[in-house]
Amino acid sequence: MKLFGTDGIRGTANRYPITPEMALRLGKAAALVFSKGRKRPKILIGKDTRISGYILESALTSGICSMGADALLVGPMPTPAISFLTVNAKAAAGIVISASHNPAEDNGIKFFSSKGGKLPENVEQEIEHLALQDSLESTVSARDLGKAYRLDDARLHYISLAKSSIKIRLSGLRIVIDCANGAAYSVAPAVLKQLGATVIPINNSPDGLNINLNCGALHPEAMRKAVKKYKADAGIALDGDADRVIMADEKGRILDGDDILALCALRMKQENKLRKNMVVATVMTNLGIEESLWNQGITMLRTKVGDKYVAEQLHLKKLSLGGEQAGHIIMPGINPTGDGLIAALQVLGIMKSSRKPLSMLAQFQKYPQILVNVKVREKKDFESIPKVYNSIRQAQQALGSSGRVLVRYSGTENLARVMVEGKDKLQIKRAAESIAGEIKAALGV
């Protein structure tokens, strides 16, 4: 059995493996792994606003403490806040209870290292191996059990980090912030207000079941409408755990992670803060964005889809900026993981310092791009299905060097994702529909 996917462990809440029983075992396993070389390690736990977070938090805490480690509880906080707070509290590891952009019925458990980054695969495998062992039992006496502490000032520490990420006040800006009824429902509006902006918060009343429900980064329509309704200067839409962001300019035009990455890259190059004049992006990033950056002397290094792959390359190459189209923007000099709020603040800072509206700043020529999701019952190698493989090959041959075809499986859901990019909208639409049709015929639910 395998627990870890591309972004921790994820599934339907209260169904294997996202159960209190497995959370208890993961807490025990994590305590064992992070006790190596440490006496009474501290493991920090945060969560988003899902109702299932309560049972998983309690079970993880019990598992950690039963093995002689201490648990530091911070409650509902953005995933990037957990990354920062893990380092700030000198904890041996951090745990986030969240299914990110997934609906409320799902939940997940993911880990951060003591340095605030995603765990290496070998450490995840060690935790997984221990958690699945029948012989996983408590090994400490009652005298040596760990304790659980609630960090009441955690929110203030993260707010301070976010505010310090820009060196300019936001006075005079009117900003819509869609909190997705998620982990940033409290801290995101507070940061913007303390920086002097006029803030219009929406979807900031979580009830445990409305996280990501027709709102946030995956559904930015509500944010876009609010920008136009309130004549705001910009809109920000976070996802459930606030590690990704989608924005809108004052005209209501949606800006995705590609736009935000390009804006930040150009400003950082101007300020001599873009190391090696290089950014890290994924295979999903639009070719037009790559060409725009290349024309400004900025090279793009591409990775597989997933912010952990972006983070790995940033670390290996010692670079200062990376991101992906979905809205994960990573600036290791500020926070070692994707941070939706901090990324949005950088864009607002550029607006304020340049004294230009966002619509004038984000004028990148993009290739048309079609993305089709197909629900699948299993994940088979596409090359093993002749009709699917042939449709992909034929589409790429037809596009030639002026387009791209990317077909992959989601790392967190039973979905096949078909992306086709090119200069001719009708051509790429037909190609995407043809490939998706063959996948549905072969593997569809």
Query: By CB neighbour count within 10 A (0-12 exposed, 13-18 middle, 19+ buried), where does 134 fall?
Result: exposed
- The answer to whether 183 and 208 are in contact (CB under 8 A) is no
Q: Is 107 exposed, middle or buried (0-12, 13-18, 19+ CB in 10 A)?
A: buried
Q: Which residue has the tokens 């906080």?
A: 77
| Helical spans, DSSP H, in 254-301 | 257-270, 287-295
Q: What residues does 201 pair with on adjacent strands? A: 177
Say which DSSP state 247 is in: E
* Whether the Cβ atoms of residue 202 and residue 178 lie closer than 8 Å to each other: yes
Report d(CA 328, CA 261) in Å as an integer. Answer: 9
Q: Using an 8 Å Cβ cutoff, are 221 and 289 in contact?
A: no
Residue 75 region by backbone torsions, left for phi larger than 0, else alpha for psi between -120 and 50, else beta: left
Kindly give the pairing relationship between strand 106-113 and strand 9-12: antiparallel
Task: DSSP for 354-406, please give it.
Answer: HT--HHHH-------EEEEEEEBSS---GGGSHHHHHHHHHHHHHHGGGEEEE
Active site residue 58: no
Dig out the tokens for 403 from the structure: 């387009």
Its sign, for the CA torsion 64, 65, 66, 68, is positive
Q: Tokens for 150?
A: 């609630």
Residue 384: Cβ-neighbour burial (10 angstroms; 0-12, 13-18, 19+): exposed
* Peptide bond connecting 17 to the previous residue in cis, omega within 30 degrees of 0: yes
The letter for the amino acid at 342 is: I
- The answer to whether 201 and 177 are in contact (CB under 8 A) is yes
Catalytic residue among 62, 66, 83, 100: 100
Distance CA 153, CA 174 (A): 28
CA atoms within 13 Å, Cβ hemisphere of 419: 19
Question: Are the beta carbons of 164 and 149 closer than 8 angstroms?
Answer: no
Query: Residue 433's CB: how many other CB atoms inside 10 A?
Result: 14
The tokens describing 197, both together, are 């902006």
Please give the Cα distance from 286 to 422 (Å, whole number): 10
- Annotated catalytic residues are 100
